[in-house]
Chain A
Amino acid sequence: NAGVMQNPRHLVRRRGQEARLRCSPMKGHSHVYWYRQLPEEGLKFMVYLQKENIIDESGMPKERFSAEFPKEGPSILRIQQVVRGDSAAYFCASSPPNRQGNNEQFFGPGTRLTVL
C-alpha cells in the first residue's frame, strides 16, 4: 500500500509564475490536508478537503492560493503569481474516511518550492 505521494519533490519558479503541487492520498483515504512549512518553522495548516469539497480553508491566504480535490485524480494546490515569500515546503497529509485509525494523518514527503 503506497503512502501519500507528492510531486514534484522540488519545484523552482520565477516570480510571477504559477506553481502547481500535486498530492495523491493513500489508497482508501478521502480526507486531504495541506500544510506549509517556512524555513526554521513548524507546519501551518492551510486547507482541508474531501472529494470535490473544500471543508476548511481558514489557513489559506486570501489571494493567489487555491486548492481542489476532484472526484478523480490527485489534490492540487495552486499558487498563482508566486513571490519569494511563497518559498517553503508544502506537505500534504491524508486520513481515512469516518475518522478511522484514531484520526492519524499520514504525511507525504513534501514539495519544496523555491521562488527565484
Chain B
Amino acid sequence: AQTVTQSQPEMSVQEAETVTLSCTYDTSENNYYLFWYKQPPSRQMILVIRQEAYKQQNATENRFSVNFQKAAKSFSLKISDSQLGDTAMYFCAFMMRDSSYKLIFGSGTRLLVRP
C-alpha cells in the first residue's frame, strides 16, 4: 500500500523568506502523480502544485516549486518570498494511475508566516 509521510508537524518562516516543506512517499509503482494542497483556516482544500512522475523536470507555479527526487521518493515544496497569506496547513498527496485515482494524503505541515 502507498503511504505519504510529512515529518514536519509545524514550520515557521519570516515574511519574504524561503521555506521548504518535506514529503516522502512509499510505492512500488512507477506511474503516479504527486500534489501539494493548501488548507487555510477556512478549511477549503486548494491545489498548489502537481507533478507527474514520468516528468523529470520539477514543477513550478509562481512562488511555489518542487524538488522531485523519484529514486529517493521525495517530493519537497519550496515557497519563495513567503507571504502572510501562505499561513495554512500544507498536505502532500499521492495519486496512482489505477482504476480509482484516489488521493492518499500525508498528515500535514502547519506553516506559520511571521510578519
Q: Which residues of A contact B (CB under 8 A)?
A: 31, 33, 35, 41-45, 48, 55-56, 59, 89, 91, 93, 95, 99, 102-105, 107, 109-110, 112
Contacts of B43 in A (CB 8 A): 89, 109-110, 112
Sampled A-B contacts (17; CB under 8 Å): A33-B102, A33-B103, A41-B107, A42-B106, A43-B45, A43-B91, A45-B102, A45-B104, A48-B102, A56-B99, A56-B100, A59-B102, A93-B45, A95-B101, A103-B33, A107-B46, A112-B43
CA distance A41 to B43 in the complex (A): 12
When the two chains form their complex, are residues A103 and B45 in contact, meaning their CB atoms are under 8 A apart?
A: no
Query: Distance (Å) between the CB of A109 and the closest chain B CB?
Result: 6
CA distance A109 to B46 in the complex (A): 10
Query: Distance (Å) between the CB of A4 and the closest chain B CB?
Result: 10
Max chain B Cβ within 10 angstroms of own Cβ: one of A59, A93, A107: A107
Number of interface residues of B (CB under 8 A): 22
Residue of A nearest to B105 (CB): A42
Whether B84 is near chain A, meaning CB under 8 Å from some CB there, is no
Dominant secondary structure at the A interface: strand
Contacts of A91 in B (CB 8 A): 45
Residue of B nearest to A104 (CB): B47
When the two chains form their complex, are residues B102 and A56 in contact, meaning their CB atoms are under 8 A apart?
A: yes
Q: Which residues of B contact A (CB under 8 A)?
A: 4, 6, 33, 42-47, 50, 91, 95, 99-108
Query: Distance (Å) between the CB of B50 and the closest chain A CB?
Result: 7
When the two chains form their complex, are residues A103 and B95 in contact, meaning their CB atoms are under 8 A apart?
A: yes
Residue of A nearest to B98 (CB): A56
CA distance A105 to B105 in the complex (A): 13
When the two chains form their complex, are residues A107 and B45 in contact, meaning their CB atoms are under 8 A apart?
A: yes
Query: Distance (Å) between the CB of B8 and the closest chain A CB?
Result: 13
Contacts of B104 in A (CB 8 A): 45
- Known A-B contacts A103-B33, A109-B43, A109-B44; the reply to A55 vs B99 at CB < 8 A is yes
